[in-house]
Chains A and B, each alone.
Chain A
Amino acid sequence: MSEIEKLLNPSDFEAFQKKIVEGRDPNRTAVAVCSGPGCLAYASGKVFDRFKVELLESGLAEEVTLAQTGCHGFCERGPSVVILPDEICYLRVSPDDVKEIIETTLRGGGIVERLLYKGEDGLPVQKESDIPFYKHQQKVVFGDNKRIDPRSIDDYIARGGYTALVKAITTMSPETVIAEVKESGLRGRGGGGFPAGAKWEATAKPPADTRYVIVNADEGDPGAYMDRGILEGNPHSVIEGLMIGGYAIGANEGYIYVRQEYPLAIDNVLYALEVLREIGLLGENILGTGFNFDIIVHKGAGAFVSGESSALMSAIEGRVGEPRPKYIRTSISGLRGKPSCLNNVETWANVPLIINKGADWFKSIGTEGSKGTKIFSLVGNVKNTGLVEVPMGMTLRQIIFDIGGGIRDDKEFKAVQTGGPSGGVIPEDMLDLHVDYDELYAAGSMMGSGGMIVMDKDTCMVNVAKYFLEFLSDESCGKCVPCRDGIDQLLEVLQRLTSGNALEEDLELIEDISLMMKECALCGLGQSAPNPVLSSIKYFKDEYIAHIAEKRCPGGVCKALIAYTIDKEKCIGCGKCMKVCPVAAITGEKKSPHKINNALCVKCDSCYQECPAKVQAVTKIRQADVITAFATSEEAANE
C-alpha cells in the first residue's frame, strides 16, 4: 500500500485496480515461501528470514519479490518454496539451501536439482503443477495462495480481488445476488451441505431492522485444517464473500468467529480489515453506493460444540457456547434474536468466484447434486500429506492414490474416514465412491468440513471408533441427556471391546443407544455422534467380532489384547530393538536372535517400529497366546 486515498466511488476503485495491475510486471521473479502450519512446523520461518538476509547481500533484493505466503498444500515435503513466474518448486528447503537457490536459480536461471520433487521413477519434476500431488487437483479457491502475500491487499486486487464485490453492489440487486448463488448450487462446506442460496434467502426474508452474516472459522475437527489454510493465506477472499453476503441479505454487520488457536489467521484478518477501512472498502457508504458494512472478529475460546450455529451465536453474545433447540432457525432468530446467516470459511470464499464467473461456470464443476470444488486435508497413513482441492465427483481412490501417492510405507489400505467425529469410515471396496454430499451420506459417512483420514492395515477400527467417542465425550456440552449420557454409555461398551471384556450382545446395545441418540439429541453433535461407531460396525463387523470372540485385535493396536514376540527365524540380531526398549525387556547376543520377556514388556511398540522393514522379525501376537508361545519356545530349547 502506497499513498492511501479513500475510494469514494466505483471509478475510484477501477483506477486503483488499474494502477496496481499496470504497476506489475508479470514476468518479475518472485519467491513464495510457504508459511502454512505444516511448513511453519518444519521451520519455514527460518528459510524466509535467510532469504531476506541473503537477497540483500546478493544485491537482488530490488529485483526479486519475496513473500511469506499461505499454505501451498504439499505439507509432506515442506518447507516449500516456489519461484515465480516459472513455478519452480523446491521442497524440503532448509535455510542452508537458500544461498544456492539465489545464486543458481535467481541469478543464474538454473535449477537446484536436489531440491526438486522426484517421482517414483526417480525423475525430477521442475514445475509445481507437474508434480503428481498437484497435477490431479483443481485449485479454484485455494490456488492463489502462492501468489498472494496475505498482508498485501494489492496482491489480492491484482488477482481480481474485490471486483466481485464491486460488481454486486453496483450492478446487481440483492435479489439477483441471492438468485445467482442459489442457481450455482453452492452447498455449505462446513459439513451439513445445506444449500447456501436457500439459507441466504431465508435470512433475507423475515422482517427485521438488523440482520447478521457470520463466518464460522471455529474449525474443530481433529485432523482438519483447510479453513485455517484459507484464512491465513487468503483472508480477503473470505471477507469479500462475507461482504457480498451482507449486501445480498441486507446485513450491515458481519462477524468472523475464529478460534484463538489460529493466531496467524486472526492477525491476518484483523490486518486486512484495517486496510479495508482505510481505503473505504469497509464502513459507511461503501464506494458511494449507500451500502454500509463492517466486520467484527470474535475469538473463539475453544469448544468444539461452539461450531454449531446456535451455540456459536451464544458465544458471540458472551455466553456459554451451548446449542439451543432450533424450533426456530437461526436464519429467522439467531444472533441477538435477529435473522443471521452463518456459513463456513470455504463457503464464503467461493462466493466472489460465483459472482465474477457466474453460476453456470460454477455448475460446470462437480456432480449433479454437489457443485464446485472441495478442499480436503488429506492426512493419516498416506504418503503425501497435505491440503488438496479437487472437483466434486472425483473418486476417493483418485484422491488417495493419484494425489496422495498411496499408503505410507506401501502398507495395505484399510479404510478412509471422512466427516470427522460426525462422519464414518469407508472400506476398500467402496473406494470408487465419488466425493459428493449425497453419495458419502448414503455410504454412512458424510462430507464434513473436509478431513480425510487414511488408515492402513495396522489400524484398529474399534480403537478409531473409541477415539472419536472419547473426543466427543470431552466436547459434549452436557446440556441434553441423550448426548451427555449416550456418548459415555457407548464409550463404556467400546472400552469393554478394546480390553477384551465385551459380549456378543454388546453390539446390539450399541445399536440401541445409537438409535436413541440419533432420535433424541438436541443438536448435530449428539445426533451424529454414533456415526463413527455405526459405520465401522457396518463395514468392519469382523473386527468387532474378533475382539469379542477371539480376544484378538486384527489391527494390533489394543494393548490389552496384543503381545510382542520376535521371530527367531527372521531376526538378524542387529540389536536395534534392544536399544530402544525403555524397560530392558529384550535380550540377545549380537548377530543371534533376540527375545522379548513379555512379563517386563510395556507394549510401547518401539521395537516393532524400530525393526528394519526388510527384516520384520518383531511381530504382534494375541496376548492370550503368550503363555503358549513361551511354552513352545521352552520346549524348542529343550529339544
Chain B
Amino acid sequence: MTQDKIDQIIDKFEAKPRALIMILMDIQHHNRWLPKEALERVSERLGVPLAKVQQIAAFYKTFSLVPKGDHELHVCTGTSCHLRGAQKVLDTVYEVAGIRPGETDSESKFSLTAVNCMGACSLGPVMMVDGQYHGRLAPSKTEDVLKNVK
C-alpha cells in the first residue's frame, strides 16, 4: 500500500484524531492488513502517539497486524453452529491447512477467522470461503471444500 493511498484515506477524514478507528478500518479494508508503516503514518498525520494507534489496532477484531492469505476462511462459532459441530470444522481446517483461528498458513494460501454469528444458523455449521457460504459441514465435506479452493 503506497503512502499516497494512506494519505488519501487520512485526508478523507480530515486527519481528525476522532476518526482514528474509521481511518484504520479503511486501510484494513483496502490492504487487508495494517503494516507498520501505515500505523506510523497515521500516528504522524493525526498527531496521535503510535502506542495509541497500536492499542486500537490490537483491540478490535477487524484489524490484522499480519498479512492475510489469498483465501479467507470464516468459520462461524456462534452458539448454534457450536452445537452443530463448529469445533469439528475448525479441527478439520487445522488438519488440512495447519492453521488455527487468527492464523495464516506458511504458503499464504489460507487465513482463518472464527466469527460469532453469520445469521445463517439454519445452515450450521457454516464456513465462508472468500464470501461463499458452505453449510451443514461434516468433517469430510469440509475437507472437500478446502481441497477445491484453487
Which residues of A are interface residues toward B (Cβ below 8 A)?
36-38, 40-42, 75-76, 78, 220-225, 228-229, 260-261, 298-299, 301-304, 315, 317-322, 377, 379-381, 385-386, 417, 420, 451, 453, 455, 459, 464, 467-468, 471, 477, 580, 582, 604-606, 609-610
CA gap between A328 and B88 in the complex, in Å: 46
Closest to A384 in B: B122
* A62 to B54 Cα, complex, angstroms: 55
**Could you tell me the distance in whole angstroms from the C-beta of B65 to the nearest C-beta in chain A?**
13
Docked Cα-Cα span, A381 to B122, in Å, equals 9
Can you name the residue of chain B whose Cβ is closest to the Cβ of A74? Answer: B122
B140 touches A379 (CB 8 A): no
A301 touches B60 (CB 8 A): yes
The 3 closest A-B pairs by CB, nearest first: A37-B119, A302-B61, A301-B60
Are the C-beta atoms of A38 and B116 separated by less than 8 Å?
A: no
Contact: A301 with B79, CB < 8 Å?
A: no
Interface set, chain B 1-34, CB cutoff 8 A to A: 16-22, 24-25
* A535: min CB distance to chain B, Å: 14
Please tell me if the beta carbons of B59 and A38 are within 8 angstroms of each other in the complex. no
Closest-CB distance, A269 to chain B (whole angstroms): 16
Task: Digitize B79-115: 1 where CB-to-A-CB distance is under 8 Å, 0 elsewhere.
Answer: 1111111001001100100000000000000000001
A319 and B21 alpha carbons, distance in the complex (Å):
8
Q: Are B17 and A318 in contact (CB under 8 A)?
A: yes
What number of residue pairs across chains A and B have CB atoms under 8 A from each other?
142
Asked if A315 meets B78 with Cβ closer than 8 Å, knowing A41-B120, A223-B121, the reply is no
Bound-state CA distance A471–B59 (Å) is 15
Give the contact-size bracket for chain B: 35 or more
**Further contacts, 19 of them, CB under 8 A, given A221-B117, A317-B18:** A38-B119, A42-B123, A75-B120, A75-B121, A78-B122, A222-B79, A223-B81, A225-B119, A261-B115, A301-B61, A303-B61, A319-B56, A321-B60, A379-B124, A380-B83, A381-B84, A464-B79, A471-B77, A604-B88
Q: Are B25 and A223 in contact (CB under 8 A)?
A: no
Contact B63 A220 (CB under 8 A): no
Distance of A584 from chain B, by nearest CB (Å): 13
Given A41-B126, A301-B61, A582-B143, A381 and B21 contact (CB-CB distance below 8 Å)? no
User: In the complex the two chains form, what is the Cα distance from A75 to B121 in whole Å?
Assistant: 8
Residue of B25, B59, B126 touching A321 (CB-CB under 8 A): B59
Which residue on A lies nearest to B85, using beta carbons? Answer: A605
CB neighbours (8 Å) of A40 from chain B are 120, 133
Chain A residues within 8 Å of B143, by CB? 582
CA A322 – CA B59 in complex, angstroms? 9
A301-B122 in contact (CB<8A): no
Whether the pair B83, A381 counts as a contact (CB closer than 8 A) is yes
Q: How far apart sit A180 and B135, CA to CA, in the bound complex (Å)?
A: 46
| Chain A positions within 8 Å of B85 at CB level | 605
Asked if B62 and A220 make an inter-chain contact with CB atoms under 8 angstroms apart, the answer reads: no
Question: Which residues of A are found within 8 Å of B119, using beta-carbon distances?
Answer: 36-38, 41, 75, 225, 228-229, 377
- Interface pairs (16), CB distance under 8 Å: A38-B123, A41-B120, A41-B123, A75-B121, A75-B122, A222-B82, A302-B62, A318-B17, A318-B18, A319-B56, A321-B60, A377-B121, A379-B79, A380-B79, A417-B79, A610-B138
B residues less than 8 Å from A386 (CB atoms): 122
State whether A451 and B79 are in contact (beta carbons under 8 Å apart), knowing that A42-B123, A222-B116, A303-B61 are contacts in the complex. yes
CA distance A302 to B62 in the complex (A): 6
B138 lies within 8 A of A38 (CB): no
Are B19 and A37 in contact, with the CB atoms below 8 A? no
Q: Are A260 and B83 touching (Cβ within 8 A)?
A: no
- Min distance, Cβ A307 to any Cβ of chain B, angstroms: 12
A38 close to B122 (CB less than 8 A)? yes
B31-79 interface (Cβ within 8 A of A):
55-56, 59-63, 77-79
Complex-state Cα separation, A455 to B84, whole angstroms: 10
Known contacts A223-B80, A260-B25: A303-B20 contact under CB 8 Å: no
A180 CB to closest chain B CB, in angstroms?
33
Question: With a CB–CB cut-off of 8 A, which chain B residues contact A317?
Answer: 18
Distance between Cα atoms of A304 and B55 in the complex (Å): 16
What's the Cα separation between A225 and B115 when bound, in Å? Answer: 13
In the bound assembly, the distance between CA atoms of A385 and B126 in angstroms comes to 14
